[in-house]
Amino acid sequence: MGAFTVEFRAGIQEEWNKLCIELKVPCSEQFRIADTLGEPIKFRQWNICGLPIDAFSTDNGIIVTNSNRWSLCIDPQGQANKWIKNMERENKLSVVKLTDSNYLRLLENAIQFGTPILLENVGEELDPVLEPVLQRMVFKMNGIDHIRLGDSVIEYNKNFRLYITTRLRNPHYLPEVSVKVCLLNFMITPQGLSDQLLGIVAAKEKPELEATKNQLIVESAENKRQLKELEDKILEVLSAAQGNILENETAITILSSSKQLSEVITEKQAVAEYTQVEIDATRNGYTPVAEHGSILFFCISDLANIDPIGKIDESSWRFLLTGGVALENPHSNPAPNWLSDKSWSEIVRASELTQLDGLYQGLRSRLTEQSA
């Protein structure tokens, strides 16, 4: 289902669910890929790396990381591209285009050393040289995995990962291409864009609130990671224990310390979740603005179906909406110790009114005289 839109996926899943009920096949009331193959900790990390929080994008992330075939992401707004770059940055990700003169050399290095590589901005046709890589034509030579790339035979590292993205909105890939890759539709959804715009508005209006929220997301992910490690550690101790575990002092010590640490982490997580609920309540006050911006974007995007000249991408739209407020104030704050940057920016903007012309200049000169 990767290549289909969010509406089509939902419709297909609903039909499958009804069919299972009719045939009396045991199934969940509402099927979600995230419930079966997902890990909440990993989802948090993906969101931090730039993957939108909506279920459609989360499902795409699960498919990318679990598919047996390399993913080709239909990514006109660059969502997948940004996410992959952030997610794989620490793993020495190589980013190349088919038009780069050295792309084959970088691909060889990635295959040999087991590092990820992102092939971005591809068209509707892929380089035939990629055929063995896409089909994973790996063979043994002297007991070591090898693969043929062009005229060369190179060692194949099992940690190698290939990602492919295209900026085309509606590409038509031939069947022989589609069967070799995992096609994924990464076009942004209204919910995904609305959440991004909400973050921008909240960061501008309540910067301390948005900074706290982002910090809580990181802390929450870390807390859940530590809890998962503790659970694994406890299971390992229990499975490795021989005889009566109550007589094993080492095991009891480890279990006792793990329990105490687990309680501390659980308390921290409870506080973080409570704080996040309060922050979200305040943050959601800006939801109408974000939703309105999202609706406008998709309305304008549909104009491209009438005339291609009306085409606009998501990054350009975000700048169009936020460019005026996001630009730095060219006039520095003369009294940052008691006057907030936001208040100073409002004073500068108010000075553009005819009745308040020269307000910020006069205030600046007085503050400068006082400090002197």
The CATH number linked to 79 is 3.40.50.300
Q: Do the domain assignments include residue 305?
A: yes
- Which tokens in the block code for residue 39? 């890990």
One domain, residues 272 and 179: no
Tell me, yes or no, whether 309 and 366 share the same domain: no
**Contact present, 181 and 72 (Cβ < 8 Å):** yes
| Tally of domains within the chain | 3
- pLDDT at residue 79 above 50? yes
Look at the chain and count its residues.
Answer: 372
pLDDT of residue 315: 61
The answer to whether residues 106 and 216 belong to one domain is no
Give the separation between CA 342 and CA 312, rounded to whole angstroms: 31
Reply yes or no on whether the pLDDT at 308 is more than 70: no
**Domain match, 92 and 197 both:** no
Q: Are residues 40 and 144 in the same domain?
A: yes
Position 322 scores a pLDDT of: 55
Instruction: Provide the mean pLDDT of the chain.
Output: 82
Stated pTM of the model: 0.68
DSSP type of residue 161: E
Query: Would the pLDDT of 164 be above 80?
Result: yes
Mean pLDDT of 261-274: 81
- What pLDDT, on the 0 to 100 scale, is given for residue 372? 56
304 neighbors 310 (Cβ within 8 angstroms): yes
Structural domain for 334, as ranges = 329-372
Q: For residue range 231-256, what is the model confidence (pLDDT) as tens digits?
A: 888 788 778 777 776 666 777 787 78
Residue percentage of the chain with pLDDT more than 70:
91
Range with the largest mean pLDDT of 42-56, 78-92, 342-356: 78-92
> Which of 142, 158, 187 is the last residue before a domain boundary?
187
Domain membership of residue 63 (yes or no) is yes
- 53 and 179: one domain? yes
Give the mean pLDDT of 171-181. Answer: 90
Q: Which residue has the higher pLDDT, 168 or 259?
A: 168
Do 47 and 175 lie in one domain? The reply is yes
Examine the domain organization and report whether 164 and 36 are in the same domain: yes
Query: Residues 334, 251: one domain?
Result: no
* Whether pLDDT at 276 is above 90: no
Is 23 inside a domain boundary? no
Averaged pLDDT, 303-316: 64
pLDDT score of 327: 46
| pLDDT given for residue 72 in this prediction | 94
DSSP string, 130-149: GHHHHTT-EEEETTEEEEEE
- pLDDT-based confidence at residue 88 (cuts at 50, 70, 90): very high
Query: What digits encode the pLDDT tens for the residues 111-153?
Result: 999 999 999 999 998 999 999 999 999 999 989 999 998 888 9
Examine residue 1 and state whether it is found in any structural domain, yes or no: no
More confidently predicted of 77 and 74: 74
Q: Which of 122, 7, 130, 117 is nearest to 73 (CA)?
A: 122
Same domain, 171 and 263: no
In a domain, 22, yes or no: no
Query: For residue 326, what pLDDT band results from cuts at 50, 70 and 90?
Result: very low
The closest alpha carbon to 82, from 317, 311, 315, belongs to 315
14 occurs within a structural domain: no
pLDDT in tens, 182-220: 999 988 878 778 877 887 787 777 778 777 877 777 777
Return the beta strands (E) in the chain as ranges: 71-74, 94-96, 116-119, 138-141, 144-149, 152-155, 161-166, 182-185
Do 279 and 356 fall into the same domain?
A: no
Taking alpha carbons only, the member of 175, 98, 174, 171 closest to residue 130 is 98
**For residues 245 and 337, which has the higher predicted lDDT (pLDDT)?**
337
